[in-house]
Amino acid sequence: MPEAEIKDIPEKFKKKNLAKELLDVIPIELIREFKAFVFDKENGTIHIGAVDHELEALQQYLKNTFSGKVIWYKVKEEDVNFILDNYARDFKEEILSLLKTDIKKKGLISDVIDLTISYALVQKVSDVHIEPTAEEIQVRFRIDGMLYKMFSIPLSLQSELITRFKVLANLKIDESRRPQEGRIERKLFAGILLRVSIVPTLFGEKVVMRVMDDSNKNLELADLGFSEQHREIILKNIDKPYGMILVSGPTGSGKTTTLYSLLQLLKKDGINISTLEDPIEYALKGVNQIQINKRVALDFSTGLRALLRQDPDVIMVGEVRDSETAIMASDAAMTGHLVFSTVHTNNAPSVFVRLMEMGVEDFVIASTINFIIAQRLVRRVCPDCAEKRPLDEAIVKKVLNHRGILSVLEQKYHMNEDALRGATFSTGVGCDTCIQSGYSGRIGIYELLDVNKKIHDMILAKKPAADIKEALKESGYVDMVEDGVSKVMEGVTTFTEVIRTTKDT
């Protein structure tokens, strides 16, 4: 057999429950033994993910039982364990049938929670909302930023459910009037941690679980969606030994992931990188990460003060949200540190004004900021059900009403109204992978502002953000809308997503 290159298993097949028919060739007992599983098959060819594809017993077994073509992929032991724990299960069905039994009498409430967590992980959710209403407890999953109602639990189980969550997350059982936060670690799923928050609402306590998964995090700039032009600006500026690099955007726009990927570019021996975060989203190798903890008065400003005494080379402050932190961070940037942080503004040019409002001097801003990234996350068209289709009339109208998109289409793609109606665009028509939404996964759209002489002078002249944006546009600045439109043209996302996420820019 010629030694072909062994590919990594495609991301979409990871952490997915295997369909029953895939177990024909390697049944579940042998998956355990061989540490290998079939994850896809098509007329006569099977795709096998294996920890060690050269394992003699496995090769021998296939020779005796299968005559078609085998394509091999590399997988990790944890991928195999995931398959073993979740194979061919219909979690929703299991939960619904469990809920029909007498849960209270049989003490099965923890089974309901376990199944809910497994179901959520298989669906790759970012968070699970378990919320009491007047009629029921509804369970909603957030997938790619959108909430979907998955099933509901009878209100009669509310108190058992909440008590069980409090036990699992190490929280006070008798406290029901104050919000509480904790965590659940699941041994079953390597590398997965659930942050649990419980808040009293009108109809009772509501639970939110956030999935913190630090396995398989991809931090390559290109994979996060940075265009070549944007990557060049980053690489040109990131090596400066001091100054400030800021990422702006609303909550949930992927700012932390961007910061982590920038830190990743700097990691080398001989420099010290320290971060202050709230929360630490996942562990970064070779970086000193500090969790903000208000109970012991460790906030961004006290933490930053303490950190500066240790004289690190690179500092990441999770967020600049008050004047004390803003001034201290920019002073640190002035005095030989490279400072990374995030700011809550709608676009990159507004960051200057925001910092001035927080009391940072204009000359400090003009001379310390290396570059600013502003970003949003758009959903990707689901690759399993993508089709080239003309736009619906309603979307054409929205595009025509969007000045930003329209001008990009006309100037960059020479596309007028007729051409737009005549063109086809990649659209997810809905399938099981994407729970009929037509989208699967997300990617960033960005704008990158690098402070040149002209911008430097405009900051000193305290020009409003709109004027700065105008000046940037004249020199070829690609804003989030334009970056988004290019991703529509590439078939990665849709106009609907770009419009939805950039409304306020």
Site for Zn ion, rule CB under 5 A: 382, 384-385, 428, 431, 433-434
CB of 492 to Zn ion, least distance (A): 14
Q: How far is the CB of 444 from Zn ion (least distance, A)?
A: 21
30 or 431: CB nearest Zn ion: 431
Nearer to Zn ion, 111 or 384 (CB): 384
- CB-wise, 279 or 441, nearer to Zn ion? 441
CB environment 20-35: b (16+ within 10 A), e (fewer) = eebbebbeeebbeebb
Q: Whose Cβ is closer to Zn ion: residue 10's or residue 154's?
A: 10
In the complex, minimum distance from the CB of residue 494 to Zn ion, in angstroms, rounded to a whole number:
13
- C-beta closer to Zn ion: residue 54 or 432: 432
| Sign of the dihedral defined by the CA atoms of residues 101, 192, 439, 140, in that order | positive
d(CA 406, CA 394): 15
Query: Which residue sits closest to Zn ion, CB atoms considered?
Result: 382
- Count other C-beta atoms under 10 Å from residue 263's C-beta: 21
277 forms beta bridges with 291
Q: For Zn ion, give the closer residue by CB, 279 or 430.
A: 430
Sign of CA dihedral 423, 426, 431, 434: negative
Q: Transcribe 380-437 into DSSP letters.
A: EEPTTSEEEEEPPHHHHHHHHT-HHHHHHHHHHH---HHHHHH-EEEEE---TTTTTS
Beta carbon of residue 93, minimum distance to Zn ion (angstroms, whole number): 21
CA nearest 276: which of 288, 265, 263? 288
- CB 430, min distance to Zn ion, A: 6
Query: What sign does the dihedral 346-349-353-359 (CA atoms) show?
Result: positive
Residue 434 or 459: which CB sits closer to Zn ion? Answer: 434
Taking the complex as a whole, the smallest distance from the CB of residue 94 to Zn ion amounts, in Å, to 24
* Strand runs labelled E in 75-221: 127-132, 136-143, 146-154, 180-185, 192-201, 204-213
Whichever of 418 and 432 has its CB closer to Zn ion, that residue is 432
User: Minimum Å distance from CB 211 to Zn ion?
Assistant: 21
CB of 440 to Zn ion, least distance (A): 6
Q: Which residue matches tokens 């919320």?
A: 131
Instruction: Tell the smallest beta-carbon distance from residue 387 to Zn ion (Å).
Output: 10
What element of type H or E holds 228? helix 228-237
Contact 263, 219 (CB under 8 A): no
Please state, as a whole number, how many other Cβ atoms lie within 10 Å of the Cβ of residue 41. Answer: 17
Q: Please state whether the peptide bond connecting residue 200 to the residue before it is cis, i.e. omega within 30 degrees of 0.
A: no
Burial of 67: CB neighbours in 10 Å, binned 0-12, 13-18, 19+: exposed
Residues 6 or more apart in contact with residue 376 via CB below 8 angstroms: 249, 250, 253, 444, 445, 480, 484, 501, 502, 505
Q: Using an 8 Å Cβ cutoff, are 160 and 132 in contact?
A: no
Shortest spacing between CB 142 and Zn ion, in angstroms: 18
| Contacts made by residues 82-85, CB under 8 angstroms, sequence distance 24+ | 82/14, 82/15, 82/189, 83/17, 83/18, 83/31, 83/37, 84/28, 84/31, 84/32, 85/118, 85/188, 85/189
Q: How far apart are CA 91 and CA 115, in angstroms?
A: 6
Whichever of 380 and 402 has its CB closer to Zn ion, that residue is: 380
- Choose between 128 and 143: whose C-beta lies nearer to Zn ion: 143
Q: Nearer to Zn ion by C-beta: 278 or 384?
A: 384
* Residue 496 Cβ vs Zn ion, minimum distance, rounded to whole Å: 15
Q: Minimal distance in Å, beta carbon 434 to Zn ion?
A: 3
- Interhelix angle for 300-309 vs 323-334, to 10°? 20
Closest CB to Zn ion among residues 439, 477: 439
> Which one, 101 or 436, has the nearer CB to Zn ion?
436
* Least distance (Å) between residue 12 CB and Zn ion: 10
Q: What is the 3-state secondary structure (H, E, C) of 62-110?
A: HHHHCCCEEEEEECCHHHHHHHHHHCCCCHHHHHHHHHCCCHHHHCCHH
